[in-house]
Amino acid sequence: MKTSLPRRVTAEFLGTLLLVATVVGSGIMAERLASGNVALALLANTIATGAALVALILTFGPISGAHLNPVISVADAVEGGLPWKETPAYIAAQLFGGICGTMLAHVMFSLPLVSLSHHIRSGPAQFASEFTATFGLLCVIWGCSRSRSSLVAFAVGSYITAAYWFTSSTSFANPAVTIARALSDTFAGIRPNDVPVFIAAQFVGGIAATLLFRWLIPNLSSSAQDVVLPHSHQGGG
């Protein structure tokens, strides 16, 4: 028996909220403590984010699939997993959850609720980075989706841990997270002007990987019901 839509949407909201609170909050903490050593700050930010993804996917995956990312929800809808009529609710919950996550991080660090970022992230290298980051993320999700196990949580957490470092953009790979990070003038921020190109690169990369895997794994759509984590049955895991 599938979990009801309000419950699944709440899970997407909460999961994205906690994900963004981790990305933004750990960036603030890391920058405050690292006394100018950016590599050390990014390492702490990376470890916190990768670990949060493992925990959040294991937690919310059995309820809503733990997409936590509009690219994943759209790709899943393309493959026939998430019904198109439920997709807007998923995306709205992710966007709203992300923004609340930024605000929560700011509250926890005594900052104004919202502040527009001045962190410039533009140019072809950034586009290539976001395309690659999201292409790889969807490869991981589709590649692991057949195994129907909780291992996908570890695969995604590990992948993002790597992607923070192998891309020059530090791998946002998620439109909801990108918008939320535009509202934080801190370590993890992104200038609002640069957001549209990031989101475009993310959707192009994610759809490219989805089309490639449609060929690579002929019966791909049969596992689309269970992206990111199996959540059709109450038994879970």
List binders of its own copies among 33-92 (CB under 8 A): 33-35, 37-52, 54-55, 58-60, 62-63
Of the pair 7, 84, the CB lying nearest its own copies is at 7
Looking at 73-81, 86-94, 146-154, 174-182, which segment touches its own copies (CB under 8 A)? 146-154
CB-CB contact of 50 with 140 (8 Å): no
Residue 91 CB, nearest approach to its own copies (Å): 20
CB-CB contact of 216 with 145 (8 Å): no
Q: Which of residues 173-202 bind its own copies (CB under 8 A)?
A: none
Residue for token digits 């019901």? 225
Residue 169 CB, nearest approach to its own copies (Å): 8
Looking at 76-84, 91-99, 108-116, 191-199, which segment touches its own copies (CB under 8 A)? 108-116
Q: What span, in angstroms and rounded, lies between the C-alpha atoms of 77 and 30? A: 37
Residue 185 CA neighbour count, 13 Å, CB half: 8
Of the pair 84, 237, the CB lying nearest its own copies is at 237
Residue 80 CB, nearest approach to its own copies (Å): 18
Question: Measuring CA to CA, how many Å separate 217 from each of 60, 77, 134, 142, 146?
Answer: 26, 17, 19, 9, 9
Of the pair 59, 84, the CB lying nearest its own copies is at 59
Q: What span, in angstroms and rounded, lies between the C-alpha atoms of 33 and 40? A: 9
